[in-house]
Structure 1
Amino acid sequence: MAEIFFSSEIAENVKGKVVVMTGGAQGIGAATVSLLYERGAHVYFGDVDDVKGHQMLDVRNYNEQLELFKTPYEERGHVDIAISCAAVIEPNGWFGPDQLTLEAVETEPQPLKNAIDINLTSVVLFCRLAIAFMKADKESTKSNDFSKSIVLLSSIAGITEAAGLFAYGASKHGIIGLMRSLRALASAKYNIHINAVCPWATDTQMIDNVRSIWDEHHLPLNAPKDVAQFITQLATDPSLSGKSVLVAGGRGFDTEEGIDRTMSVWFGPLTEEFWRGQKAFGTGDQWSDI
């Protein structure tokens, strides 16, 4: 995998930009808000944390997400960067023996559903809103620059298996799939670049229950600021588009480059046909005719 480095100079591009963000009250999100603010961005964020959040926001509520975009658009006339950070981990045990009795499965496991709704369904809607507001700005100003961007927070659990995190792992894989499905369309049709950030264990409350395992095996840990730097890099560097960046021990690696470079190894003789198919489908407009 090719290593990506945080550039303080490129991050200065965020000055004066209008940023819309979910999940900005704590952890990685809070570190990102602080970094963007320090660099001169106008940051509008919402979170379910009503103590730390700029405004209350339940990402499962479409109208609340819509208002999160409307507010800066009406106040400043444009939205430049959209960052989706809101995420939850489901409680443990939903696939344990006591939760897999015929009596237990009579009731829908709401925490599992919440994880999918917050981590994935809401992000699909977030992307649709982001592109719509960015597209409106480009049309009103007749701008064709490549400065608009979307950054989605996935996880190492979106790249490989995450034992015990069933809904979380599925949803974070979904984020990578969403980014890959949108990158050609967003770039070619709307001149917007979209990327995903995939941190492994980061020093936030989300890993409190497993921190002792991490420490026992002397594994390096991300600081929230490490991840925030790569989110900012992907948001401000127009040369980075369609990337999923693994952040591990404070270092960033382009996993998409590694996948593309080694595809012939694991795809074998179908590699050429695959790329011809990808080229033929282009931005995927054909699916709308079905």
Structure 2
Amino acid sequence: MRFHIITLGCPKNTVDSEMMAELLRRAGHVQVDQPRRADVLIVNTCGFIAPAREESYAALRKLAVGKRRGQRLVAAGCLAQRYGEAIRQKVPEVDALIGTQSWPEIVTLFERLEAQEPAQAPCILSPGGNLVASVPRRAILGATAYLKIADGCDAACAFCAIPLIKGPQRSKPLADVLREAKELAAQGVRELVLIAQDTTAYGRDRSETDALAHLLQALSREVPELEWLRILYAYPQHVTPRLIEVMAGLPQVCHYLDLPLQHGHPDVLRRMNRPHRV
């Protein structure tokens, strides 16, 4: 089938969409650049905050209005994971749901769409899926690329729905990260942007110490074509002296950490139920 993907939300969704597209292409499906040419329309949604949810509903409604006979509409991602029933009520034209924890099963969802009547509405929202499944990479942003090294979160911040949507932190194995980096570098990528819900917690779910520092060293050694390594979504409670030492010593690593603004005030952190003494 021909498919078209619209991606909303953060860079992690961008990577998930890219990987879903690759899985579908490898299964014989064809990606098209215009919704009207597609048999299946996929919206990879964001469900983190109210404006993002409304943007996702609006994108689904817009596609629903223009659906032609036989065309299917799939809601994927965070909004589908947590608000699947609300999607069915607000946009009844949606034919299938696949959650952010289940994106590696996109080919299975397509098989169900081909085999079933639209009224049966396939739904794959299983918790505990492989958030960090590794798929062969394509460079779609020119000389820069996002590389998701982990997903999910173990924190219990007072305001945040991410653990409810994505579940606990899961780190991508080092071998998979290196393989993806090499694939991207071979296609001309020179800046690699490492992303996760908390990049500085990389490896903690596997009881590894200073795993991010080790990862940076491995990338520098194994993928010398990379000129810039940038780290996003860092949190100070997991920044160690070893990480700072490695970052300072590797010329490829951009010498700053992307930290949320609220980490500048302990009272704000206390109200957010985040560690406020680090």
Q: TM-score normalised by the shorter chain: which range applies?
A: 0.3 to 0.5
Which structure has the highest helix share of the two?
Answer: 1
Higher relative contact order (CA 8 A, sep 6+): 1
Q: TM-score, normalised by structure 1?
A: 0.35
